[in-house]
Structure 1
Amino acid sequence: MPSREDVSYFGAGPAPLPTSVLEEASKVLLNYNDMGIGIAEISHRSPEANKVLADTKHALISLLDIPEDYEILFLQGGGSGEFSAAVYHMVSIWVEKCRKRLETEIEQEVATKRLRKKVMEGLKLDYLVTGSWSLKASQEAARLVGAEHVNIALDARKDNDGKFGKIPAEDQWSLTPTKREDGQGPAMVYYCDNETVDGVEFPSFPASLESKSENDDRLVVADMSSNFISRKVDVRKYAVIFGGAQKNIGNTGITIIILRKSLLPPQSELASPQLLRSLGLPIGPVVLDWPTIAKNNSLYNTLPIFDVWVAGRVMQGLNNTYQAKKILGQEGISQKKSDMIYGVLDKYPNVYKVVPDKSVRSRMNICVRIHGADPEKEKEFLDGASKSNLLGLKGHRSVGGVRVSNYNAVPIPAVEKLTEYLESYARKSANT
């Protein structure tokens, strides 16, 4: 039976966690702060739990330099839950802005009729579909508000023979204009920064989503579940950032959201449930309602405090390791590891084919086919890796192949071990 030190794990999620955090976790699960009970047993409304929340927020703020005008929320439902929450919240803001503008122009009864017409004709949510997760997000939006309100501003498959793997040039995107006759642009622009299944990552924030002026501000919502805290992010460019914890941040159980306070009451007014119902628009469950979660300091319902604690310890560990460099320190390590892996893969093009285009290769999820996607050869590769205690390399069930998930907690020695195997397998293949 191999020990933890013997195994190098590259699973896509739940992902590896720092051994030091797990060792500390094993102690606090039994006895937290000499209380005689474990952290998973304390009340989520206790002073101890509130301190865990505060410490975790502080660690994230410090790591990413999050501005004071942003709120941090912890809730459940995973990234998939936020596919829905983003729609509920951003549509509600859009409708209320539209209603207020109309009521200043015309009497209320006429305004209500005009509002229905504007919702039917003008409500748009823009989606950049670059992989499986952004596709699922767009499908959820269509399910909630109707496909007629979802603008697929980019479907990357159209530029790549029906498969994901490229991001077309921005001048090919069909974003909803922000300056229209009705004075309102899209309710949001949504994209997934790193596609776990397809190995596609945006190299940087899209230039076409940059705010040109105060009246031309696209409300950008980004799913960063699989590359969160792996590189520097200019938080101010986003209205909302969210991520499930189970990749780089912690164990499965919580979702972290960073959003502008201006999107929350009292700075931003939301359409009433009665109005949304009258317009045929959905009303979200309260456990996904950002204003409710924010008002209750993420404690509206029972939050898994242990999961928050793990995330906090992981992020504080990065702060302690990189000091003044903060997230830039981890960004350098992430890039170094991915360069090591891609370097070997590119060295043997007859054996390994990296799936996505070089311009959008993910640093986190490296998707590869072996010998032209030969199923027997890929099984042989995976079996050999398993015998070398290189685990979690099987590609997503929807696409197959091999996937190396290079998350923060994967140490450089594990990557070195993997590259040695890649070299060995390629040389052996060349001689057979």
Structure 2
Amino acid sequence: MPSRSDITYFGAGPALLPSEILEDAAGALLNYNATGLGSMDLPRTLRYPLQQTSRGILKAHFVSVAEHSQRSQLTADIINQAKADLASCLDIPDDYEILFMQGGGTGEFSATVYNFVSAWVARKHKEIFGDLGGDAADHPELMQQLKQTVDNDLKIDYLVTGGWSQKASAEAERLLGPKHVNIRSPRLLLRQRGVEFPAFPKSLEPRPDGTGPIVVADMSSNILTRKIPVQNFSAIFFGAQKNLGVTGITVVVIKKSFLPPATRQPPAGLMRDLGLPVPPIIFQYEAESRRNPSKQLQLDPS
């Protein structure tokens, strides 16, 4: 097997992987667990202060499927183990779901808008319509009230601290129009690179009863580098390639209260009637959460 010298790498793209990890992965790519088919095992050694064990380290396995069927039990086990390892590393509470998505962080700039606007509409629909059944069009006065609520109250706030959050806010404006997007971009921050909040803002923390603002964070650059208060976020997302493994998968950690049965996506027809975008199914968190774990690494949304 080819060898390489140890290097220190500061590239902004995929993270450097230890040589011994790549050697293990190369063997697994040819024959995984003596199955005769290939997968790629990427055990990552994570050191304190992120997670402490009796030895001060935690080894987590993040695996991608190569030749095995996406419908096989082996693939489902791989995905479930990866979720369990990630939940352990980040101390993710039980009331959060882990989704493996496609599209990278840029895809999540769209997906977060689609899904959380839909969740907001679902809650406003519940407030206005109550337990009334049937089509919303059957209640024109209530439908008009919902339209006015969307027109007057729907607003997404973006804290723009650099290039990526600027791209995220631009995508929200593209999907919703500038009327529904509020951008805060302090000049001092925009002159800097690598901005990171030193702590979670007190004003955004959830209330004791669990209510509070919907807060979403892109953590592609710093995930798994330290402890984070996952319970303060409605969702976090990050590309696997920075600190988790190889390029190809985007991870979303989302509070289950934004997924069925607590919150269901409004019908596509209702979203169109309100002048709001409908997500492609591959970006719909509800659809991903319903799918068999063995399909979550596949591009085909069937």
Cα distance change on mapping 1:12 and 1:84 into 2, 3 Å: same
- 1:37 equivalenced with 2:37 (yes/no): yes
String of CA shifts for 1:167-203, please: whole Å, max 9, x gaps: xxxxxxxxxxxxxxxxxxxxxxxxxxxxxxx211111
User: Which residue of 105, 110, 115 corresponds with 1:84?
Assistant: 110
Matched-pair identity in %: 48
- 1:155 equivalenced with 2:150 (yes/no): no
SS of 1:57's equivalent?
helix
Structure 1: 5+ residue runs without aligned partners? 166-197, 305-432
Cα distance change on mapping 1:294 and 1:216 into 2, 3 Å: closer
1:38 alignment partner AA: G
1:92 is displaced (CA, Å) by 0.6
User: Which residue of 122, 145, 148 corresponds with 2:176?
Assistant: 145
String of CA shifts for 1:336-365, please: whole Å, max 9, x gaps: xxxxxxxxxxxxxxxxxxxxxxxxxxxxxx
- 1:228 equivalenced with 2:223 (yes/no): yes
For these two proteins, the number of residue pairs brought into alignment is 267
String of CA shifts for 1:255-289, please: whole Å, max 9, x gaps: 11111111101111321111001111101111111
2:186 alignment partner AA: A
Q: 5 Å matches for 1:254-403?
A: 254-300=249-295, 303=298
Cα distance change on mapping 1:69 and 1:95 into 2, 3 Å: same
Q: Is contact 2:234-2:254 (8 Å) kept?
A: yes
Question: 1-side partners of 2:206 and 2:218: how far apart?
Answer: 19
Structure with higher Rg: it is 1
Match of 1:164 in 2: 191
Question: 2-side partners of 1:115 and 1:268: how far apart?
Answer: 17
1:124 alignment partner AA: K
User: Which residue of 144, 147, 162 corresponds with 1:113?
Assistant: 144
1:134 alignment partner AA: S
Q: Is contact 2:79-2:294 (8 Å) kept?
A: no
Question: 2-side partners of 1:145 and 1:244: how far apart?
Answer: 25
1:164 is displaced (CA, Å) by 3.0
String of CA shifts for 1:206-245, please: whole Å, max 9, x gaps: 1221123537511111110110011001111111011001
Question: 2-side partners of 1:112 and 1:102: how far apart?
Answer: 9
Q: Is contact 1:102-1:115 (8 Å) kept?
A: yes
User: Which residue of 41, 61, 79 corresponds with 1:53?
Assistant: 79
1:241 alignment partner AA: I
SS of 1:199's equivalent?
coil
Match of 1:134 in 2: 165
String of CA shifts for 1:22-72, please: whole Å, max 9, x gaps: 111000111111111211111111111111111111111111111111111
1:108 is displaced (CA, Å) by 2.2
Q: TM-score, normalised by structure 1?
A: 0.59
Q: Is contact 2:128-2:142 (8 Å) kept?
A: yes
SS of 2:35's equivalent?
coil
Question: 1-side partners of 2:280 and 2:170: how far apart?
Answer: 19
Question: 2-side partners of 1:105 and 1:25: how far apart?
Answer: 53
1:301 is displaced (CA, Å) by 6.2
User: Which residue of 73, 95, 98 corresponds with 2:124?
Assistant: 98
SS of 2:182's equivalent?
strand
Q: Is contact 1:73-1:298 (8 Å) kept?
A: no
2:291 alignment partner AA: N
1:75 is displaced (CA, Å) by 1.5
Cα distance change on mapping 1:151 and 1:46 into 2, 3 Å: same
Q: Is contact 1:14-1:247 (8 Å) kept?
A: yes
Q: 5 Å matches for 1:211-226?
A: 211-214=206-209, 216-226=211-221
1:7 is displaced (CA, Å) by 2.8
1:156 is displaced (CA, Å) by 2.1
2:38 alignment partner AA: G
SS of 2:252's equivalent?
strand
1:123 is displaced (CA, Å) by 0.4
Question: 2-side partners of 1:298 and 1:108: how far apart?
Answer: 39
1:299 is displaced (CA, Å) by 4.6
Question: 2-side partners of 1:79 and 1:215: how far apart?
Answer: 27
Cα distance change on mapping 1:6 and 1:269 into 2, 3 Å: closer
User: Which residue of 241, 246, 267 corresponds with 1:251?
Assistant: 246
1:302 is displaced (CA, Å) by 5.0
Q: TM-score, normalised by structure 2?
A: 0.83
